[in-house]
Structure 1
Amino acid sequence: MYLSFEKQGETLVASLSGELDHNSAEEVRVKIDNKIDIDNIKKVVLNFSGVTFMDSSGIGAVVGRYKKLCNKGGNLCIAEANKNVDRIFELAGLYKVINKYNTVDEAVRCI
């Protein structure tokens, strides 16, 4: 799993690439949490355009970051999830609490 960060105004865009599974979820959790804490971030867009596979550990990583930001009065959203990842989010019921956007730019504008 490759993870890169870009700050757009007050919003952190975290771009994920590769497989978000039990092998990489902990690393993703730690890196995103560190960035949120160090830069006092309250808005995060998770760019899933490069994610090829995700399992329940990935869902846990996303939900954990969402809860962390909600506790700080912030928000998290998903952008550019491919068809397979989008289906996983849909089946897990995450879109009932986490907004999804077609593009990162749209997510940054709306979050």
Structure 2
Amino acid sequence: MTDALRLRVRSDGTTMVLRPEGELDVNTAAQLRVWVDDYLTGDSRPATLVDLSGLTFIDSPGLAALLAMRRRLADGDAVVVYADPTPQPARLLRITGLAARLPVFGTLDEALRSLAAR
């Protein structure tokens, strides 16, 4: 795989929307960890929506980075949800059993509505 990962961030009210684009793998997972460190020391929000629609590939270290991000944000009482995974990440979430255990929504709108209902 390549070292191509971009992290797009935007605010939607009290929700931070993180959209990783490209490949989240052994070579790029550290970028996500650095973003979480910076986010936690800055203007963090009570909810984070991870928009998976821009991920073209994810491997086990990338998945571990997403889970570590969720744990770290939850330790600070933030809610983390995932939305709109592309086929390869969706398949990985499904075969690992994480799709049934994590809050993964089919669309961004569904995820945002779920956060608004909390």
TM-score (norm 2): 0.85
- Which residue does 1:11 correspond to in 2? 15
Q: What are structure 2's unaligned runs of at least 5 residues?
A: none
The answer as to whether partners of 1:54 and 1:85 remain within 8 angstroms in 2 is: yes
Match of 1:85 in 2: 89
Structure 1: gaps of 5 or more residues: none
Aligned to 1:110: 114
Q: Determine which structure has the larger strand proportion and give its number.
A: 1
| Aligned match of 1:53 | 57
For residue 100 of structure 1, report the CA deviation from its aligned partner: 0.9
Larger Rg: 2
CA distance in structure 2 between the aligned counterparts of 1:9 and 1:36, rounded to whole angstroms: 17
Moved over 3 A (4+): none
**What does residue range 89-100 of structure 1 map to in structure 2 within 5 Å?**
89-100=93-104
For the aligned residue pairs, the C-alpha RMSD in angstroms reads 1.4
1: distance between equivalents of 2:11 and 2:109?
A: 12
Number of the residue aligned with 1:69: 73
**TM-score (norm: length of structure 1):** 0.90
Which shows bigger deviation, 59-68 or 32-41?
Answer: 32-41
SS at 1:49 equivalent? helix
Match of 1:23, SS state, is: coil
* Higher relative contact order (Cα pairs below 8 Å, separated by 6+ residues): 1
Amino acid at match of 2:62: G
Query: 1:19 Cα shift?
Result: 0.5
The structural deviation recorded for 1:95 is 2.5
The 2-side partners of 1:98 and 1:3 are apart by 21
